[in-house]
Amino acid sequence: MTVSLVHERALWDAGARTVAGIDEVGRGALAGPVSVGVAVVAPCETWPDGLTDSKLLSAARREALIAPLQAFGVARAVGHAAAAEIDEVGIIAALRLAARRALDAIPVAVDAVLLDGTHDWLTPPPADLFAVESDAWDAPPVTMVVKGDRACASIAAASVLAKVERDALMAAAHADHPAYGWDGNKGYGAAVHLDALRALGPSPLHRVSWRLPTG
């Protein structure tokens, strides 16, 4: 599937001046942050050559796209929620927290959001006794796009930005915790990672509220 600006254009035609493509990386990892990329586009006609879902690209190709992506759209940012925050508030609220941090770093107003998938985790739930304080914010209106990271240029851009930045964080963390193999598995459940967890237990960067393997 080739990305396009069809979904973005529909929102521009409906009156949105800026559209943010949003995608997350690290949701299923056992260690490290969850990271949310935001790529904001105003009406345009082109996107970087080779842009697609970050999972379909080699690490070298993702890295090569970073410079072209800096010239694509009007703003971009990546936000993170740490493992300890995921343990404290849960993965969905942590995704919202990371997205809010990214959106707060964007220097332009965002009129509409294209979000990858089928579940709108960005829009805060109705307030109740169990609401997390960080959920109390006004998210832009969200349009869900199934496989949006392969269909929408803005979402694909967000996915690449988030993947490259999170991978760099995990590669840096590997230096302090080499036994878990994060330079290769980036905190996901690869065999070397699971074996190290059984032998050593969790590090400070593990999501200890998750069902981690033990000895």
The span from the CA of 178 to the CA of 3, in Å, is 37
Residue type, 113: V
Residues in the chain: 215
Q: Is 138 annotated as a binding residue?
A: no
- What is the arrangement of strands in the sheet containing 75-81, beginning at the earlier edge strand? 75-81, 34-41, 19-25, 112-116, 142-145
Strands 142-145 and 19-25: unpaired
Q: Is 87 annotated as a binding residue?
A: no
The span from the CA of 23 to the CA of 35, in Å, is 9
Q: Is 23 annotated as a binding residue?
A: yes
Q: 187 and 26 in contact (C-beta within 8 Å)?
A: yes
Question: How far, in whole angstroms, is CA 157 from its chain's centroid?
Answer: 11
Residues at the binding site for a divalent metal cation are: 23-24, 116
Residues at the binding site are: 23-24, 116
